[in-house]
């Protein structure tokens, strides 16, 4: 479920890179009964091109609606009333997850020892180590500090500013956090300043992430044998949802879906966070953080069934397959009369498996004009199967001048389960929608399951 959370962090923020997109348009509203299937496609290359489309025609003939770039209005209602059959489409393997800014981190090669260790551990059976709560606390420091990279990062070799971000989260968690790290160090908080002896700090950082050459950053000060760190609040945050553990004689892996959020209510699924610990008897925690990466992956959707869809027009389609093609400029548009309340999207997974949630990209994000002209979701009811249902609000907004890239980022919504459920079918029902400036057809650009 969506959370309200204020993360305490540095005044320096590492922001998420925007999602890439490809191209598409909107269509006429002559909603039809269709059933389509298509082979699962290879990954779609996402382009950053933006097209402004203003062509719309609000007149309709007796036989066909005439809107090219948005869902049509009341003049084509007669053509939409018969839209009732499911529209089916095969899934794409395209990755719709967002990318993190990582160019300032020292990254490790993708074929290094740590990547190999992670891949081997992922092929084994999940377990729960005795110090799982402590490891979760250490991983929390990593994600809250925005230290992870999709290229992979060795924590002890990061740029010192990123190390300082991680150090701050470690100090906060040991002094005022709600994790198992609380009380394991002598850090004291006074207002917006943390104080710890320099010797204790060096031992703490070495225990947690192998720091062997502590150098204060610009917002860290060492005086009279003490380390002083200033901090503020309101920074973005990330959590690993419902983590799993894998273990061998040398390493412990914590992995799970990573969700990024901010105090403005925005959330996005970043992929799976793989955080690797090396067992270390010299550390008070029994293990030391060594490496982390984002695994740009999601759960494969094998097909999509929708209760209606807008009719194709001039080579543009609005079927359910557009929801899983990895392209934020193509959309599914419902084809029912009115704003689409009651219409459904059913996702069929490739197999029965544990699901933690879904991400919805709301609206027609190909351009500001298309987004503004068409309807968006406001409320959904999601049936994850096995009696697990979630009702949630769906946010969406656009400002004049926003690019397609910005729109696809601003309109991401994460809907999570309190606990994962094993399922192979997810049904999204529209329970609320807001019509656009010109049309009441509700559009959704992309859906990702994690």
For residue 356, give every residue at least 6 positions away whose Cβ sits within 8 Å of its Cβ, in sequence order, or none.
241, 242, 256, 257, 416, 417, 420, 450
CA 269, CA 27: separation in Å to the nearest integer? Answer: 29
Q: What is the pTM of this model?
A: 0.74
Give strand pairing partners of 99.
Answer: 17
In this predicted structure, what is the pLDDT of residue 261?
Answer: 87
In this predicted structure, what is the pLDDT of residue 166?
Answer: 97
Q: What is the pLDDT of residues 387-432, one digit of tens each?
A: 999 999 999 999 999 999 999 999 999 999 999 999 999 999 999 9
CA 106, CA 149: separation in Å to the nearest integer? Answer: 9
Contact 426, 358 (CB under 8 A): yes
Strand, coil or helix: what is 175? helix
Closest by Cα among 352, 350, 263, 276 to 2: 263
CA 377, CA 304: separation in Å to the nearest integer? Answer: 18
238-264 in b/e form (b: 16+ CB < 10 A) is bbbbbbbbbbeeebbbbbbbbbbbbee
In this predicted structure, what is the pLDDT of residue 105?
Answer: 52
Q: What are phi and psi of 165, to 5 degrees?
A: -60, -45
DSSP, residue by residue, 395-432: -----TT--HHHHHHHTEEEEEEEEEEEEEEEEEEEEE
From the CB of residue 78, how many other CB atoms can be counted at a distance below 10 Å? Answer: 14
Contact 27, 333 (CB under 8 A): yes
In this predicted structure, what is the pLDDT of residue 235?
Answer: 66
For residue 116, give every residue at least 6 positions away whose Cβ sits within 8 Å of its Cβ, in sequence order, or none.
none
Residue 305 CA: distances (Å) to CA of 81, 126, 160, 345, 349: 19, 33, 49, 6, 12
For residue 113, give every residue at least 6 positions away whose Cβ sits within 8 Å of its Cβ, in sequence order, or none.
none
| Ranges of the chain whose pLDDT falls below 50 | 1-104, 106-110
Domain range list for the chain? 15-96+299-449, 99-295
Identify the CATH assignment for 15-96+299-449 out of 3.30.1360.120, 2.60.120.260, 3.90.1150.10, 3.40.50.2300: 2.60.120.260
Helix count (H) and strand count (E) of the chain? 7, 21
Tokens matching residue 171: 């100090």
Q: What is the pLDDT of residues 28-77, one digit of tens each?
A: 333 333 333 333 333 322 333 333 333 333 333 333 333 334 443 332 33
């Amino acid at each position: 479920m969506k959370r309200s959370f204020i993360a305490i962090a540095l005044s320096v923020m590492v922001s998420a890179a925007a999602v890439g997109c490809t191209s598409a348009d909107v269509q006429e509203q002559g909603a039809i009964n269709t059933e389509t299937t298509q082979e699962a496609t290879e990954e779609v290359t996402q382009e950053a091109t933006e097209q402004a489309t203003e062509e719309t025609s609000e007149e309709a003939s007796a036989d066909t609606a005439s809107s090219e770039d948005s869902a049509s209005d009341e003049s084509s209602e007669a053509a939409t009333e018969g839209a009732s059959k499911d529209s089916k489409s095969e899934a794409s393997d395209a990755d719709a997850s967002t990318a993190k800014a990582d160019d300032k981190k020292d990254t490790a090669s993708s074929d290094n020892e740590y990547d190999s260790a992670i891949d081997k551990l992922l092929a084994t059976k999940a377990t729960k180590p005795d110090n799982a709560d402590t490891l979760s606390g250490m991983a929390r420091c990593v994600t809250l500090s925005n230290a992870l990279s999709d290229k992979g990062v060795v924590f002890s070799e990061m740029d010192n500013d990123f190390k300082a971000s991680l150090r701050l989260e470690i100090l906060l968690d040991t002094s005022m956090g709600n994790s198992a790290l609380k009380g394991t160090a002598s850090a004291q908080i006074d207002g917006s300043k943390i104080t710890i002896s320099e010797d204790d700090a060096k031992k703490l950082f070495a225990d947690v992430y192998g720091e062997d050459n502590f150098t204060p950053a610009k917002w860290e000060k060492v005086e009279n044998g003490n380390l002083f760190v200033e901090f503020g609040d309101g920074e973005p945050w990330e959590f690993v949802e419902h983590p799993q553990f894998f273990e061998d004689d040398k390493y412990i892996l914590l992995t799970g879906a990573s969700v990024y959020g901010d105090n403005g209510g925005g959330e996005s699924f970043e992929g799976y966070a793989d955080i690797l610990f090396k067992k270390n008897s010299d550390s008070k925690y029994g293990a030391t953080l060594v490496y982390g990466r984002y695994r740009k992956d999601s759960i494969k959707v094998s097909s999509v069934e929708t209760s209606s869809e807008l009719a194709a027009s001039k080579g543009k389609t609005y079927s359910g397959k557009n929801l899983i093609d990895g392209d934020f400029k193509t959309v599914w548009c419902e084809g029912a009369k009115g704003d689409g309340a009651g219409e459904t999207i059913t996702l069929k997974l490739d197999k029965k498996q544990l699901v933690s949630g879904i991400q919805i990209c709301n609206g027609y994000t190909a351009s500001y004009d298309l987004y503004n002209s068409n309807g968006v979701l406001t409320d959904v009811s999601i049936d994850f199967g096995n009696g697990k249902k979630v009702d949630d609000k769906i946010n969406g907004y656009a400002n004049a001048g926003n690019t397609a890239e910005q729109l696809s980022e601003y309109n991401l919504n994460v809907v999570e389960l309190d606990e994962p459920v094993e399922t192979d079918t997810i049904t999204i029902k529209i329970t609320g929608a807001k019509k656009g400036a010109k049309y009441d057809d509700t559009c959704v650009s992309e859906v990702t399951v994690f």
